[in-house]
Amino acid sequence: MIDIKGITKSFGSLQVLKGIDLHIDKGEVVSIVGPSGAGKTTLLQIIGTLDKPDSGDIIIDGTDVRKLGAKKLSEFRNRRIGFVFQFHQLLPEFTAVENVMLPAFIAGMSKSEAKKRAMELLDFMGLSDRADHKPNELSGGEKQRVAVARALVNRPAVILADEPSGSLDSKNKDELHRLFFDLRDRTGQTFVIVTHDESLAKITDRTIEMKDGMLEMEDELSLNTSS
């Protein structure tokens, strides 16, 4: 689902990614951990096509994204990739259901179809009775679930999350993590999650550790040390 090779990225004289190779299968839930400044967010932004590498190849869901022009790339991103951030970035003037509908609407779906799909997702998240509330009338956990619903509305192949549970208490955190796995089991979607949260990293299929712009595969490391 995600195949990247030899990705490098510098900001000015600072090389933030130093040749990243990574292969993630369809339906995998992968966590990326590592110290602050290691390059995790930059890597996620590049996988999400929000930023471009200086060199290297990126294939996502069979598409060589470096070959897409600006318009096609933005269409690809809107349809195939869902983003979940720590601070949910819901639009305050819109209701929960309107926030969830928006990416579907942008992708060209009719308003009624988009609304139907948004309501199904809110229902799945246990939020159908919150659909007509604006973000400032929702709790932190509810807002984060609305943000997840919005990330899912176009049925993206890949969901990228940056510290998705960072602003949640432990009960809401557990619920959000369960939701990711439920979704993967139901839809076969692929999740890449940058997190400091050890309880989340522990339950993902694979944890990738980043240090100083490079990757270390934790599973492989633990195999090496036990052999």
Please identify which residue in 19, 27, 37, 166 interacts with ligand ADP, judged by CB under 6 A.
37
CB of 194 to ligand ADP, least distance (A): 6
Residue 16 in contact with ligand ADP, rule: CB under 6 A: yes
Q: Of residues 81-110, which lie at the interface with ligand ADP (CB under 6 A)?
A: none
Decide the pairing of beta strands 14-24 and 2-11.
antiparallel
Return the range that interacts with ligand ADP (CB under 6 A); candidates 38-46, 82-90, 164-172, 182-190. Answer: 38-46
Residue 49 in contact with ligand ADP, rule: CB under 6 A: no
- Residue placing its CB nearer to ligand ADP in the complex, 41 or 63: 41
Residue 41 in contact with ligand ADP, rule: CB under 6 A: yes
Return the range that interacts with ligand ADP (CB under 6 A); candidates 33-41, 91-99, 102-110, 121-129. Answer: 33-41
Q: How many of the other CB atoms lie within 10 Å of CB of 47?
A: 24
The two tokens of residue 35 are 């110290």
Please identify which residue in 30, 40, 150, 207 interacts with ligand ADP, judged by CB under 6 A.
40
Q: Are 215 and 22 in contact (CB under 8 A)?
A: yes
- Residue placing its CB nearer to ligand ADP in the complex, 40 or 173: 40
- Residue placing its CB nearer to ligand ADP in the complex, 9 or 115: 9
- Residue placing its CB nearer to ligand ADP in the complex, 46 or 96: 46
CB of 94 to ligand ADP, least distance (A): 28
The two tokens of residue 93 are 């003037």
Total residues binding ligand ADP (CB under 6 A): 10
Return the range that interacts with ligand ADP (CB under 6 A); candidates 37-45, 123-131, 147-155, 171-179. Answer: 37-45
Which three-class secondary structure string do you get for the chain? CEEEEEEEEEECCEEEEEEEEEEECCCCEEEEECCCCCCHHHHHHHHCCCCCCCEEEEEECCEEHHHCCHHHHHHHHHHHEEEEECCCCCCCCCCHHHHHHHHHHHCCCCHHHHHHHHHHHHHHCCCHHHCCCCHHHCCHHHHHHHHHHHHHCCCCCEEEEECCCCCCCHHHHHHHHHHHHHHHHHHCCEEEEECCCHHHHHHCCEEEEEECCEEEEHHHHHHHHHC
CB of 197 to ligand ADP, least distance (A): 14
Interface contacts to ligand ADP, rule CB under 6 A: 11, 16, 34, 36-42
